[in-house]
Amino acid sequence: MDWWKDAIIYQIYPRSFQDSNGDGVGDIPGIISRLDHLQELGVDAIWLSPVYQSPNADNGYDISDYREINPEYGTMEDMEELIAQAKSRGIRILMDLVINHTSTDHYWFRQSRDRTSPYADYYYWSHGGPDGTLPNNWTGFFGEDCWEFDPQRCEYYLHLFAKSQADLNYHNPAVLEEVKDILRFWLDKGVAGFRCDVINILWKDSLDSSKKKLSLTGSEHYLTLEGTHDILRQLRAILDEYGAFTVGEAVCVTPETARALCGRDRHELDMVFSFEHMDCDQYKVKWIKRKFRPKVFFDCLTRWQRELDWNALYLENHDQPRSIPRFGSVRYWKESGKLLATLLLTLRGTPFLYQGQEIGMLDFDFQRIRQLNDVESKNVDRLLRRFHVPQKLRWRIISRTSRDNARTPFQWTAERGAGFSDARPWLGINHNCERINLAAQEEDPRSVWSWYKDLAALRREREVLRRGEFVPMEAAPPLFAYRRRLGEEQLTVLLNFSDDPTRVSVQGSLLRSNYPRERFEGVLQPWEAVILE
Ligand code: TEU
Ligand code: CA
């Protein structure tokens, strides 16, 4: 039943994975052509970022038809072929379920602009305050206001994300019925479940203004409320008819509120992506970077390992800059890339690998804002310009955090186009593809790719890595040490998050090291990862 406790799941951002028809945009036939790569890596399931009909204001997270495939990515037949081809390789497909909002191009929204239509209150509409002020003082996720005036309906509609992503109003029961039909549509096609986009903010309990905050003013009116739990329980009932899986992206959750979303007894989600460990190199908001603090990172991971029975484990995704520059070391690119792989694949929970992580891809090498695509980055640039922040400082703030850092095309080969496309790619390819690419690593037993493949096999072979309990160990940073225990079986993991050799007093027989060595004598080399029996 819970196949996902033994699985490694791989996230594909379809736009940037593989172009098959020479238009510079990744597509579904391209993904099909690369399934052997995923099978060799040892992937058990694929989370596919949205491929539905969309005007691409937020690259598919603004859906205009949940039952149609965006022609840029291919046809419904291509999608059905992908499900079948993946299945023939023992790989499940998870779709991205984006139901907090739809695109303003969606039929429902276009109808909703007529207040006499049956779709009139599928969304949150409001007259706004006296003398034309906005309905409330909430601030959104993309640094914009949360209300956009619609000249046809002459009212404002709520959008917590981009203005073309209108929030659905679940106070209207018809909305949840529509979502249930969408779930069934995809489950009937044979998908194994869903990654659920910002799933803990669905229910808004009021549209009242609230105390100003540095970010997300008004979030107490929608963060993980009882109304959302009720929606999730109703969706779970349908998912259970199919034995389907869900991982929820849960913003601003603590272990306690996460447990309320994915505890076994809750019958809501199977697991959640939380954000706390990703906040360890930023100050309150992600645009204000600070020096990475290993101790905070280790303590956070330890707390989540101990306080949740099951975690969704990730260090990268399509919203986050690459992990080696953040939590590892570009100077020790290979060693720290393999160390972070070891962390991801030996903690307790389901590991999620983001495309390119398996070959140690790094952030983009863009020089100016016009090379960016991400709506969030462009909104923040506009906001900073309004505050007269000089161009150089704007670029410094945005380039370090922009989600485009993780969205550059996959680097398959060293050639021009990186084996991704023969056409001009929709987003620039990092020039380091001459050095960092799959072809250069496939035959190298010491490469990052080979290390991921080997650890995935080790995880499949050793049940203690999949099901064992997490046992923290006393260790001072830069050392992160823990054990996995199942009955009599125990493995010790030692990770040196530093450029300096680090002595440890732990003994054991060497099972793996990311350095060539026969035995372990108590000293970890810079960014060395060791697994001991
Ligand atoms: O992300 C929601 C979200 O909270 C992230 O955008 C987060 O705020 C930040 O970017 C990372 O700290 C989901 C999707 O993953 C994202 O791509 C979409 O833009 C967003 O929802 C709206 O659908
Ligand atoms: Ca294409």
pLDDT tens readout for residues 36-47: 999 999 999 999
| pLDDT value for 132 | 83
Q: 80 CA to middle of ligand 2, Å?
A: 17
Cα 125–chain centre separation: 30
Q: Which two tokens stand for residue 229?
A: 């739990």
Q: Which residue's C-alpha comes closest to atom 8 of ligand 1? A: 141
Q: Which residue's C-alpha comes closest to atom 1 of ligand 1? A: 198
Q: Is 249 a catalytic residue?
A: yes
- The whole-number average pLDDT for the span 306-310 is 96
Q: Are 408 and 429 in contact (CB under 8 A)?
A: yes
Q: At what angle do helices 448-461 and 333-346 cross, to 10 degrees?
A: 20
Ligand nearest to the CA of 314: 1
Q: 275 CA to middle of ligand 1, Å?
A: 11
Ligand nearest to the CA of 72: 2
Residue length, the chain?
533
Cα 350–chain centre separation: 13
pLDDT tens for 95-123 read 999 999 999 999 999 999 999 999 999 99
Pocket of ligand 1, beta carbon within 6 A = 58, 61, 98, 141, 161, 197-198, 249, 251, 286, 318-319, 376, 403
Q: Is 533 a catalytic residue?
A: no
What is the chain's Cα-based Rg? 23
Res. 1: pLDDT tops 80: no
Ligand nearest to the CA of 18: 2
Q: Beta partners for 69?
A: 52
The helix/strand count (H/E) of the chain reads as 15, 24
Q: Beta partners for 494?
A: 481, 530
Sheet holding 271-273, edge to edge: 271-273, 245-249, 193-196, 92-97, 45-48, 9-12, 350-354, 312-313
Output the pTM of the full model: 0.98
Q: Is 152 left (phi over 0), alpha (psi -120 to 50) or beta?
A: alpha
pLDDT tens for 265-302 read 999 999 999 999 999 999 989 999 999 999 999 999 99
Q: Taking the C-alpha atoms of 100, 75, 425 and 23 in order, what is their torsion angle to the nearest 10 degrees? A: -150
Give 228-284 as a DSSP string.
HHHHHHHHHHHHHHHT-EEEEE-TT--HHHHHHHH-GGG-S-SEEE--GGGGTTEES
Distance CA 61, CA 190 (A): 22
**Sign of the dihedral defined by the CA atoms of residues 313, 317, 323, 327, in that order:** negative
**pLDDT over 70 percentage in the chain:** 100
Q: 157 CA to middle of ligand 1, Å?
A: 20
| pLDDT value for 130 | 81
Nearest to 246 by CA among 201, 197, 200, 193: 193
| Catalytic pick among 197, 281, 316, 363 | 197
Q: Are 8 and 344 in contact (CB under 8 A)?
A: no
| pLDDT value for 129 | 83
| pLDDT value for 294 | 96
Average predicted confidence (pLDDT) for the chain: 97
Q: Which two tokens stand for residue 49?
A: 């970022």
- The whole-number average pLDDT for the span 412-441 is 98
Distance CA 441, CA 341 (A): 15
Give 161's contacts (C-beta < 8 A, 6+ positions apart).
58, 61, 101, 140, 141, 142
Collect residues with CB below 5 Å from ion ligand 2.
19, 21, 23, 25, 27
Q: Which two tokens stand for residue 107?
A: 């039929």
- The whole-number average pLDDT for the span 373-390 is 96
pLDDT tens for 29-70 read 999 999 999 999 999 999 999 999 999 999 999 999 999 999
pLDDT tens for 130-145 read 888 999 999 999 977 8
Residue 181 identity (one-letter amino acid) = D
* Burial of 79 (C-beta count, 10 Å sphere; 0-12/13-18/19+): buried
| pLDDT value for 145 | 86
